[in-house]
Amino acid sequence: MNDQVDVKPPVAEKIAKELSIHGDKRIDNYYWMNNREDPKVLAWLNAENAYLDTILSPEKKLREKLFTEMKSRIKETDMSVPYLKNGYYYYTRYEEGKEYPVHCRKKGSLEAPEEVILNVNELAAGHAYCQVAGLSVSPDTKLLAYGIDTVSRRRYTIRIKNLETNELLADEIHETTAGSTWASDNKTLFYSRKDTVTLRADRIMRHSLGVAADKEVYHEADETFDVAVSKTKSGKYIIINSESTLSSESRILDASKPNDAFRIFHPREKDMLYHVDHRDDKFYITTNWNALNFRLMETPLDKTSRQNWKELIPNRSDVLLEGVELFKEFTVLEERKGGLTQIRIINDKTHTEKYLPFSETAYTASVSSNPEMDSKELRYNYTSMITPNSVYDYNMETGTSELKRQQEVLGGYDPKDYATERLFATASDGTKIPVSIVYKKTFEKNGKGPLLLYGYGSYGNSMDATFSSTRLSLLDRGFAFAIAHVRGGQEMGRQWYEDGKMFKKKNTFTDFIAVAKFLVQQHYTDSVHLYAMGGSAGGLLMGAVANMEPALFNGIVAQVPFVDVVTTMLDESIPLTTGEFDEWGNPKNKDSYDYMKSYSPYDNVERKAYPNMLVTTGLHDSQVQYWEPAKWVAKLRELKTDHHLLLLHTNMEAGHGGASGRFKSLEEVALEYSFLLKLEGKEK
């Protein structure tokens, strides 16, 4: 495959490291890569980057063309739909040629003069990476708190800006998650602080403006829990939420009394999740207590323990309750049925209800930003694989819907040129796995068309059918694109997640393989033209299917892949490890260790032929450390018996999410697409 460029790939040095537990020995020849500061490691990563550049040098023009093409579809001067909060209309806009957003507001009316509250382009000047998050305006609308990260380790520093004078206050709060919550006094700020080694959010701090020392108000000692702070939609209560994969606990505080102690809403219990919001004289609780797919409860303000909870919406075996949005006179439910999202509106005055109607076979609808309780307008988002991202305002009283904005795709995109379908493949145990697919109408189902199959399948994160303007560059070159809604997500309800984790994790992999074989059987493609892609935990999926069914795919793109499962889950100093024992298991327990080892991609690389592979990572990744994909590639190079491409790309300036700018990130997509198109011989 790569004989056009006669160049040898880098060979990584082998230094045997014995890893032993439960009487089992593993030899890791590439353990030494676990040192970001070692010049030898950096040299090897740079050598791999240089190798990739050499191999893909014939595609350099194609990459540039793809980048320009994808960028040209983006409306460079663009603006979000303004939303009203505390008398101001807030919105975000982009300026032509600029990578980052400008956050703005107008007082009282959209005709009022614009106030720029934060121009991220100015903050990003001089930085290769810049991420700003957690914008939070004080209740009196005079101060803005925000988090900034210029390294890409998701360790944010909170800064505070005076919106009346545009001055930055001297306050600097380090090692945070970016988000912060104002008390009603406009001078007290609550935020979560991260452990500097594990990067776990483990404590809630109280910051008083102008005071150097912050006060710890809560420390989460359990290493399997993360902690966050927020406010109820009413603005009346501040909530600390401690959460692990399967259990949660809330603490509440009157927002007008920031120096008081938080009180426990209901003590944590194993396998019980709950989330709290407030309206008038009641708290509302979404919980899976005795309710696999969650239910909605209410309780008086002064009686928050569970024996006082009263059921409003029961658990349903076929409907997952995903979210609740409270208004003064309406309750809006985000539900999921048969793998599709739906929005249900209950009029609490008339006790009538309705569902918003959606007609496409595969789509995604979700509640958008609705900060005002006293509103009859529901803002919601809608998209499908052929309908660009759309924002609607729905009048819950009259039943009328108004399209406020649809993502503009420049260059003449016409949805009528494309088709989308929803299919069901049968898994090895008989389970029906949903598949969403999109292609140009000229695509022929003759078994020879190129098809890219995407999957994730972890943490209960559903991969819904959404629009992508960048994806058009593949569709217009003859590719079909499909999403395998495998177990481990939550597409078909909570049980779908339960059946794809811990000791059922392999269902995720076999489901994906079943979908791939189904698409071949249905003549969408064949194994010569079938490609797979997944990132992070979806990169684990890529590694597993590469080991299990290497001949099924012509090429695999593994983005920031979690592939060294056993070693990572044994190292509790690595960010995120302890919080994930309920997802993957704790390998200090022999049964978990044995099961993980049986599928961990790195541990199961064998001397055999593998498909063409492109592996990507970021040097500063805090979620999946760069050395996992690096070690995996080194081991694949050592053992694979084929002459297929194996390429590693390390972004030396970024982390888990890749590049931070809106255009810079397109370079990474262009790299992935040029790899796929090279394999297909479509190099234009």
Indicate the SS3 state at residue 347: strand
Q: Which DSSP letter does residue 261 get?
A: P
CA-to-CA distance for 34 and 669, rounded, in angstroms? 27
Q: Is 417 a catalytic residue?
A: no
Amino acid sitting at position 626: Y
What's the chain's length in residues? Answer: 684
Strand residue runs (E) in 38-130:
78-79, 83-85, 88-94, 102-107, 115-119
CA-to-CA distance for 365 and 335, rounded, in angstroms? 10
CA-to-CA distance for 435 and 483, rounded, in angstroms? 6
CA-to-CA distance for 144 and 166, rounded, in angstroms? 10
User: Is residue 262 within 8 Å of 240, Cβ to Cβ?
Assistant: yes
Q: If you search the block for the tokens 């789509």, which residue do you land on? A: 363
CA-to-CA distance for 516 and 532, rounded, in angstroms? 9
Q: Which of 659, 679, 677 is nearest to 66 (CA)?
A: 677
User: Is residue 554 within 8 Å of 679, Cβ to Cβ?
Assistant: yes
User: Is residue 370 within 8 Å of 327, Cβ to Cβ?
Assistant: yes
Q: If you search the block for the tokens 């961990």, which residue do you land on? A: 600
Q: Is 656 a catalytic residue?
A: yes
- Which residue in 536, 622, 660, 674 is the catalytic one? 536
CA dist 153 to 65, 149, 575, 620, Å? 31, 7, 10, 6
Q: Which of 155, 91, 150 is nearest to 118 (CA)?
A: 91
Q: Which of 337, 339, 338, 342 is nearest to 357 (CA)?
A: 342
CA-to-CA distance for 243 and 227, rounded, in angstroms? 6
CA-to-CA distance for 316 and 294, rounded, in angstroms? 8
Strand residue runs (E) in 612-655:
612-618, 646-651
- Which residue in 192, 384, 656, 660 is the catalytic one? 656
CA-to-CA distance for 400 and 293, rounded, in angstroms? 30
| β partners of residue 238 | 231, 253
- Which residue in 202, 464, 603, 621 is the catalytic one? 621
CA-to-CA distance for 660 and 195, rounded, in angstroms? 24
The residues, ordered by sequence, that sit 6+ positions from 512 with a Cβ below 8 Å of its Cβ are: 453, 455, 457, 484, 486, 532, 541, 545
Q: Is 462 a catalytic residue?
A: no
In this structure, the number of other CB atoms found within 10 A of the CB of residue 156 comes to 26
> Which residues have a catalytic role annotated?
536, 621, 656
